Structure 1
Amino acid sequence: MYFFDWLDHIDKIAFTFIHRDMSARWLDFFMLLLRNQYTWIPLYIFMLYWAFRLDRPTGLKFVCLTLLTFAITDFTSGTILKYHFERLRPCYDEDMTTVIRGIIGCGGKYSFPSSHASNHFGLATFWYLTVLHVKQQKWHWLWFWAFAICFAQVYVGKHFPLDIVGGAVLGMVAGLCVFKLFEAWVKRDYDKYLKNPSLSLP
């Protein structure tokens, strides 16, 4: 138990530094913008555009499995794990009463793991691996995108840093698993084509 108490203590020190000690009015606005779901609508439109520039079967697989990735990470983090661990969100934690700046509403009671982290790192992992597999391109900016949103979650006071780490690990595992499903699905269709070239190539 001593180790977990120490880990919790370090986590709260890191949270205090990011949420309070780093704070600035202009940064408040920027971080709130980063974590707003509507900010990233152009990105999601771009990913749809990218998907449908592929051949239609591959593009549809990409879109369907993107939705599956999100469903897995969101349900697992928000419905299962948060209520298993029952770790209080910073604004509900009595130790953090003098630290919380109240720049955003508190939200749900529990915070581990972060659903923002699991969802965005899940998507970043699946997208990165799929683009690499299909186009041999390394979209490193996807990792920066996921990290920036998650950092903003700590900055505005929604999550402790370890909530983010837990969510990111969950998301990356889910994204990798769904990518493996995508890879197997594409290979199966390609093998069918090799056996029967009269079929359209997936």
Structure 2
Amino acid sequence: MIAELQQFDTELFLKVHRGLSNGFFDWLMPLVRNRFFWAPLYLFIIAFCIRQYKKQGLIMIGMILVTFAMGDLIASRIIKPNVARIRPCNEIRLANKIIHRVPCGSGYSFPSSHATNHFAIAIFLIGLFYKKWKPILPLGLGWAFLISFAQVYVGVHYPIDTFAGAILGTCIGLFTFYLYKKIKPIT
């Protein structure tokens, strides 16, 4: 069962990584997965929360940081070292099939920390703002999905890595939103 799942994952990885290869994605996807690319969005969220919600905005920002920290801790420090799955770009059996679009890194692959962190933050933000601004749902999920897709496209994660990260991140985002509501209900 595990061997079949890994084979399916590898085939799906190659369909995305090689099969969807094009010049536009080769330019865009490395940017999308780069944390500095999203810095203006992060600054906007900070400024918006402080300007619109004052002291409550500081709590919101604090909870976003807690959400990120939980995602990173659980994915990178707890699960990855225990699963120890090799990244596809470091997999010897795929060496002739990998297109090197970004540096591979030496860390493990499962789950994707990018997917975990961005889904966690997206779900938390959706919880915060959905009642007042419905477009946050497709925008937040689309943002997290795009970053997760980019991880597979550039060759640093298998699809199951990002899928597991999305599930883990969703759970973390729901949990931290629940904590936030216990600390300070939305007005």
TM over 0.5: yes
Closer, same or farther: CA 93–61 of 1 in aligned 2, 3 Å? same
CA contact (8 A) 1:131 1:138 kept: no
**1:2-56 Cα distance to aligned partner (Å, 9 max, x none):** x111111000000001111211123201111111111111111111122113332
Question: Structure 2 matches for 1:148-159, cutoff 5 A?
Answer: 148-159=146-157
Gaps of 5+ in 1: 191-201
> 1:131, 1:53 → 2: CA distance?
15
Identity %: 37
Aligned match of 1:105: 103
**1:114-157 Cα distance to aligned partner (Å, 9 max, x none):** 00000100100000111125x36441201101100110110000
Aligned match of 2:56: 58
Question: Structure 2 matches for 1:29-44, cutoff 5 A?
Answer: 29-44=27-42
Look up the SS of the partner of 2:110 in the other structure: coil
CA contact (8 A) 1:77 1:115 kept: yes
Q: Which amino acid aligns with 2:25?
A: L
Q: Which amino acid aligns with 1:116?
A: H
TM-score, normalised with respect to structure 2: 0.94
Q: Which amino acid aligns with 1:143?
A: L
Aligned match of 1:196: none
- Which residue among 105, 118, 121 is the counterpart of 1:123? 121
User: How large is the RMSD of aligned CA atoms in angstroms?
Assistant: 1.5
Gaps of 5+ in 2: none
CA contact (8 A) 1:74 1:115 kept: yes
Aligned match of 2:162: 164
> 1:36, 1:136 → 2: CA distance?
27
Deviation at residue 68 of structure 1 after TM alignment: 0.2
> 1:55, 1:165 → 2: CA distance?
33
> 1:31, 1:60 → 2: CA distance?
32
CA contact (8 A) 1:31 1:156 kept: yes
Aligned length: 186
For the pair 1:91 / 2:77, whether they are aligned, the reply is no
> 1:41, 1:55 → 2: CA distance?
21
Q: Which amino acid aligns with 2:24?
A: W
Structure with bigger gyration radius:
1
Q: Which amino acid aligns with 2:3?
A: D
Q: Which amino acid aligns with 2:122?
A: A
Deviating beyond 4 angstroms after TM superposition, the runs of 4 or more aligned structure 1 residues are none
- Which residue among 24, 27, 32 is the counterpart of 2:25? 27
Deviation at residue 108 of structure 1 after TM alignment: 2.3
Q: Which amino acid aligns with 2:59?
A: K
TM-score, normalised with respect to structure 1: 0.87
Q: Which amino acid aligns with 1:132?
A: Y
